[in-house]
Amino acid sequence: MNPDLNSINNVFAKMDSNDWGISGDLKWGFFFFSSEKGYLDQIFLELKEHSYVVENIYQNENHEWILQVSKIEVLEHEKLYRRCLAFNQLAETYNAYFDGWDVGNSV
C-alpha cells in the first residue's frame, strides 16, 4: 500500500463532518496478504505485543491468505500515516503485503 497523507487527511475531514467522533476511540482494522499463512502468523505475533486482535484469517479464492487485525484506540491522521508506513515494512519483512485499513465504531 502506498499511504498518502493527503488522502488520509481527506478521510478524516469527511469523518469529522459526519460526526464520527474522530477524537475518541474507534476500531481500526488493518489487512495483510501473503501466499503463506505462516508469514501472517509471524506478523500477528509482533502485533499482538501492541494489543492488536485477530478479526479474521482466511484464504481467498486466489489462494492468498488474508489477516485482518484490529485495535480500538484514538488515532490521529499523522499517526495513521506513519503506521501504514511501518506496516509496509513489517509486511515486507515477512514476505507479505500490507493492503490498507478501515475504521468503524468501537462498540
Q: pLDDT value at position 52?
A: 98
Q: pLDDT value at position 21?
A: 87
Those residues with Cβ within 8 angstroms of residue 33's Cβ, 6 or more apart along the chain or in another chain: 64, 65, 66, 67, 96, 97, 99
pLDDT truncated to tens, each residue of the chain (107 aa)? Answer: 889 999 999 999 999 999 888 899 999 999 999 999 999 999 999 999 999 999 999 999 999 999 999 999 999 999 999 999 999 999 999 999 999 999 998 76
Q: pLDDT value at position 1?
A: 86
Q: pLDDT value at position 55?
A: 96
